[in-house]
Amino acid sequence: MPPVPSNSGSSGRYTAGAIILHWVMALGILGLAAIGLVMVHVHLPLQRKFALYQLHKSIGVTILLAALVRLTWRLIHKPPELPAHMPALERAAAVGGHLALYFFLFALPLTGWALVSASALSIPTRLYGTIPYYPL
């Protein structure tokens, strides 16, 4: 295994902070996908479905905040270099893939927020059932 780099993250591996952010966000996104599938495809009592929608929105806002932290972390900490032997097309694909992932980390929660804000139902959201949240 390559050595663990200093805080710069410039040699061999991502920093511990980047790895933790990655896995917290990955688990959150997988949880959102699972909750979304249940909300849409499983017949549930209205109260339970409402609770799932509230949880889905709460996790989505958390992912958006985590994406901000992750982007800030990435701007401060240089990621590991790509292997020198990697062909230029693969390098471009790796960079493009990362840019697309960052785009979607912001676009999806913001799109959900916009949909909730534009809803004619005007259902209030309480993040994790406790924090009042007011759509834009």
Q: What mean pLDDT value characterizes the chain?
A: 85
Within a 13 Å sphere around the CA of 75, how many CA atoms are in the beta-carbon half? 7
Sign of the CA dihedral with 22 first, then 55, 72, and 101 last: positive
Is the per-residue pLDDT at 38 higher than 60? yes
Grade residue 136 by pLDDT with cuts at 50, 70 and 90: low
pLDDT at 9: 41
Task: Quickly list H helices, the chain.
Answer: 16-41, 46-76, 88-118
Instruction: Compute CA distances 62 → 5, 24, 27, 69, 87, whole Å.
Output: 29, 10, 12, 11, 37
Beta bridge partners of 126: 132
Give domain limits for the chain. 16-133
Q: What is the rounded distance in angstroms from the CA atom of residue 50 to the CA atom of residue 111?
A: 19
Average pLDDT over residues 1-15: 55
Grade residue 3 by pLDDT with cuts at 50, 70 and 90: very low
Grade residue 94 by pLDDT with cuts at 50, 70 and 90: very high
pLDDT at 95: 92
What is the reported pTM? Answer: 0.78
Six-digit token pair at 87? Answer: 């062909």
Residues 6+ apart with CB under 8 A from 81: 10, 11
pLDDT at 134: 58
